Amino acid sequence: MCTLPTGITPDQQAAAEQALLRFADQFDPHHLAKLAARLRETLTTIDTSPGGHNPHTDSHTGELTDTPTGATLIHGELDAEGAALLRTALDSLAAPHPATDATPDRRTPTRRRADALLDLITRALGAAAIPTGGGARPHLTVTIDWNTLLANGTIPALTSCGLPLPHSVLTRLSCDAEVSRIILSPAGMPLDVGRSTRTVPAHLRRALVARDRGCTFPGCDRPPSWCECHHCVHWTHNGVTALHNLVLICGQHHRQVHHDGWTITFTDDGHPAYIPPWRIDPHQEPRRNPYTQHPTDLLTSAI
Ligand SMILES: [Zn+2]
Ligand SMILES: [Zn+2]
């Protein structure tokens, strides 16, 4: 709860406290805090905005705290302008994504907001406008034992912050990634450095965009610019980086495919179709995304 500004008269203070007591009977804590902030802004005579008489320099603070479970807690404070920008950006991305066949979006509102924040960050890092650091565009860097990547090792993969990554996350991240191979001596000294590119080359991505026209997950309307490339058979399991093993998919649905057990198959005419996990569809019917189908296909397609 915010405090009243200094410099107000005793009468103003009494009136404000009376008003807050009245509101407390009628509103929940969330709305009460908003009303208190409005009251405070009405009574203050000092401009606390950036560039004002007495800027409130602590109004943009953020703290990241690592937890023992390998997650990170975000705690921060934004002023009204910053909060409005953040909410505008997140609200447009955090809407539920129900599939057209009435499969509901099972994510909670908080999970949807967190996914939206990740989408936003991924897109920002992928944009050319982001400044380069150390000669390479800033992306997530993961250090991993080769056997862990092939799923039979026990040494966990680590992010550049030193936090371990679950194997399913690692599989998703390495779907379309640049891999640097560094062989270490038993004493931990680099013996050899190689580089193999596992990224989907630009010409192949253009072909994918022409075929898929956006996220291929059933019911999704995200355009190609929001999409990542997914290897249906992962390259660590000898899946090839070729059109018949790749799909365009948005970040949220890429997470869903890797973590919730969706399977991707291809129709006879070469288009991707999704088979839900058994708990969602015991009949295991493959389904295509009608949003990205040609109108003529919609009339003739069986799935
Ligand atoms: Zn993937
Ligand atoms: Zn999608």
Give the Å distance between the CA of 187 and the centre of ligand 1. Answer: 34
Q: Which ligand is nearest to the CA of 198?
A: 1
Give the Å distance between the CA of 115 and the centre of ligand 2. Answer: 12
Give the Å distance between the CA of 5 and the centre of ligand 2. Answer: 47
Tell whether the model's pLDDT for residue 215 goes beyond 90.
yes
Give the Å distance between the CA of 232 and the centre of ligand 1. Answer: 7
Give the Å distance between the CA of 220 and the centre of ligand 2. Answer: 5
pLDDT of residue 89: 83
pTM of the full predicted structure? 0.65
pLDDT of residue 135: 47
Distance CA 228, CA 61 (A): 31
Place of tokens 């982001």: 130
Tell whether the model's pLDDT for residue 50 goes beyond 60.
no
